[in-house]
Structures are given as C-alpha cells and as structure tokens.
Amino acid sequence: MATDYYELLGVPRNADDKAIKAAFRKAAMDCHPDRHGGCTDKEAHFKALNEAYDCLKDPQKRAAYDRFGHAAFQNGGAGGPFGGGQGFDGFSDIFSSIFGEFMDPHAQRASAARGSDLRYDLELTLEEAFGGTEKTIAIQALAGCEACNASGSKGHTSPARCGTCGGAGKVRAQQGFFVVERGCPTCMGSGETVADPCGACDGEGRTLKSRKLNVNIPAGVDEGTRIRVAGEGEAGVRGAASGDLYLFVHMKRHAIFSREGTTLIAEAPISFTTAALGGSIAIPGIDGEKIEIKIPAGVQSGETLRQRGAGMSVINGRGRGDLMTRILVETPTRLSKEQKAILEQFRTTETGDECPASKGFFSRIREALGG
C-alpha cells in the first residue's frame, strides 16, 4: 500500500482542491468497509485515505507535508524536523520556515509592542470637501509617559529580558500535535520587563492623555474617504512604535447640492412660462461664484442641463467634475383673475401641436377605444 498521501488518493502533487476532493470521494466509496463485509484491510485503507484527505484539504497542513513529508506531524521523533534539537521546535516553526518574515519572532514582538491604530469620524461640509481644509481635532489615547520618559521604569533603568517567555514575547501551549502561540501575559508581547516599574504608568511606559491635533484634509474627499495620519495613534509599549490615526470622512447634508462622485446635482424649479419661452436662472456655485444656467425654450420637467467644470474637485488630481441641474417645471397654484383670463384666451388658441407628447398619447387612447 502506498504511504505517500498523493499516491494514496491517486492525484499529482500539483492537484487543486477540487481534484483532491473528487479523488477522495471516489476512493473512499470503493473501499468503504461496509461494502466489503468489514474487511480489515479495506478498513485500514479507508482510514489511511481519510488521514491523507484531512491533511491535503488544509492549506497549512498541505504546505508542511509538501516540504517535510510525514515528519511534519511527528512531534519529538529523533529523525524528524522536531527531533534531536535540530532546526524546529513545534509545528509553528514549520510555518516560520515556510513563511519567513511573517512568522519572524522579532517582527511579532515589534507588532505586539506597537501601539493600536485609532479611528476618528470627521464630519465635513460640502464646501470644506471641495476646497480642502485644516481641522483641529481632540483625541484621547495612550501617549508616552512623561514621568519615566516612556521607559516604564521608575529609575529610567533599561528593561530586562522577560523570564516567562525568555524574550520571545510569546508563550506556547501544546494541543495534540499542534503548538498554539499567544502573546506573553507578563511582558505583553514586548519580550522585556522592568524591575522597578514606574508608578504613573505601571511599567507600560504610556498613560491615557487628551490632546489636540491639526490635520490637513485634501480637496475632493467624499463620504467614506479614509485618511491615514501616520504615527498619531496610541503610543507603543515602553517606547515602541506608535499606531496610526485613521480619519473617516462623513459629509453633511447640503441645502442645494447632492453629490455623485465629482458630479454635483441641483434641482431647480422653474415656472411653466420660463419652461415654454426659455430664459435663465442663477444659482450659487460650490466655489462661491454665481452660475448662470440658460433654460432652452420648451424644456421638459425632469430634463438635466450640464455645466462642465462646475462640480467637485478631483481628489489628488486636477480639474473638477460637472454640475447637473435637474429642471422641475412648477404648475402655478395661485393665479390672479387677469392671469386666468390670459390662460383661458391661450387655451382657445390651442391646436394640440404645442404639446406633441400629449397629442400622441390621447390619439393612442382614442384608437384603443375604437375612435
């Protein structure tokens, strides 16, 4: 019987997950003990198939098996990668070898000691987003302790290697043939402890403080834009690197404009006489300049008129988007006697050709009703 997992399943070593699954199902069905009257050989082969599939369906187990074979799962064997004090110390070290810097203990210690990132929700007006702005924000976060100069030690002495984790910043626990790692609870992942901790920060080298910060907002930001301010997050443990501050932009509702990307949209109600005869209207632009919008004669309600280059700024770029003015023709509700008389006179002169859409609609209705 083949002992190699790929040979057991009858697949090449570069087989994808779908091929491995299909091969396992077919092989397991063919040698299932229930189909062979409890044959011990078939039962052993069936168990071997399950063991092979359990390994190859898991990306991490498969990567370890491809590199070390069965020795990857022999914890403590003298000839395997865990034995004789050679090379590896537990299952996690296999992945340390495979994935390099991602499992590097120095990188893990630095990551554990690094300060947390912070989030700040920033509300802006459309005008502020258009031109860019500088904002002063107040945040409360862990900052370097002034009493110990962020060292964590009352006497400013250098920290010593942690006795719990031996300076690794992490501790391990055996669970079956897996070795599970977690941050060291004694040194909080830094790999170091202080003999005489500072009373102001309890040895962490950081305390909670409120501070104000000036941040620059680029022109063109929109709802959901995320701005990273490097190094302005929480301070790290005992002088380690600080985290980052992330500003999440939220837009206030505007009295005139709505927005779709760099396009501004305005709704402009006009009188039916202006719609029929044409004319012009003026609205204030987002940049403060007056914009004159020419209304063509016969414009229909719902039509949009484009003003190129009158929209929002392009973030991290040049130029502007467009302004789209949606025309809403308003029917008058308060007419004087003179105005009503004029309209009645106009109605007597109507032929139907003035409104071709209405004429066509009612013609189709007459046809549908048999004339």
* Residue ranges per structural domain of the chain: 5-93, 118-251, 257-364
Q: Report the C-alpha gap between 337 and 138 in whole angstroms.
A: 62
Per-residue DSSP letter, 60 = H
CB atoms closer than 10 angstroms to residue 302: 9
Q: Report the C-alpha gap between 109 and 183 in whole angstroms.
A: 9
153: nearest Cα among 239, 273, 230, 236: 239
Query: 């699954």: which residue's tokens?
Result: 21
Contact yes or no for 227/215 (Cβ under 8 A) = yes
Q: Report the C-alpha gap between 361 and 351 in whole angstroms.
A: 15
Per-residue pLDDT in tens (0 to 9) along the chain, 371 residues: 447 888 888 888 888 888 888 888 888 888 876 676 667 777 888 888 888 888 888 887 888 788 777 766 654 333 343 333 333 444 444 444 444 444 455 555 555 578 889 999 999 999 999 999 999 999 999 999 998 888 888 876 777 888 888 877 788 876 666 777 777 877 777 777 887 888 898 888 899 999 999 999 999 999 989 999 999 999 988 888 999 999 999 999 999 999 999 999 999 999 999 999 999 999 999 999 999 999 999 999 999 999 999 999 998 878 999 999 999 999 998 999 999 999 999 999 988 888 887 777 777 888 788 76
Residue partners of 341: CB distance under 8 A and separation at least 6:
none
Q: Name the CATH superfamily housing domain 5-93.
A: DnaJ domain (1.10.287.110)
pLDDT score of 254: 95
Q: How far is CA 39 from CA 27, 31, 45, 47, 323, in A?
A: 16, 9, 10, 12, 80
32: nearest Cα among 20, 45, 21, 19: 45
- 333: phi then psi, degrees, rounded to nearest 5: -115, -15
Q: How far is CA 307 from CA 166, 219, 319, in A?
A: 68, 20, 14
148 carries a ligand binding annotation: yes
45: nearest Cα among 60, 28, 23: 28
Q: How far is CA 252 from CA 170, 249, 290, 311, in A?
A: 46, 10, 22, 17
* Verdict on whether the full-model pTM lies above 0.95: no
Q: Is domain 118-251 given the CATH code 1.10.3470.10 in the classification?
A: no
Query: 């865990």: which residue's tokens?
Result: 82
39 carries a ligand binding annotation: no
55 carries a ligand binding annotation: no
| Coil, helix or strand at residue 257 | strand
* DSSP-based helix, strand, coil % in the chain, nearest 5: 30, 25, 40
pLDDT score of 182: 77
Q: Report the C-alpha gap between 81 and 87 in whole angstroms.
A: 6
pLDDT score of 242: 92
165 carries a ligand binding annotation: yes
pLDDT score of 108: 52
Q: Is domain 257-364 given the CATH code 2.60.260.20 in the classification?
A: yes
31: nearest Cα among 7, 64, 9: 9
**226-229, strands of its sheet edge to edge:** 118-124, 245-251, 226-229
Q: Report the C-alpha gap between 250 and 260 in whole angstroms.
A: 14
> How do beta strands 263-271 and 323-330 pair?
parallel
pLDDT score of 88: 42
162 carries a ligand binding annotation: yes
pLDDT score of 321: 94
Beta pairing partners, 247: 120, 227
Per-residue DSSP letter, 14 = T
pLDDT score of 92: 44
Contact yes or no for 15/6 (Cβ under 8 A) = yes
pLDDT score of 213: 94
For the chain, where are the alpha helices, taking DSSP H only? 5-9, 17-30, 40-56, 59-68, 91-99, 105-113, 126-131, 272-277, 337-348, 356-368
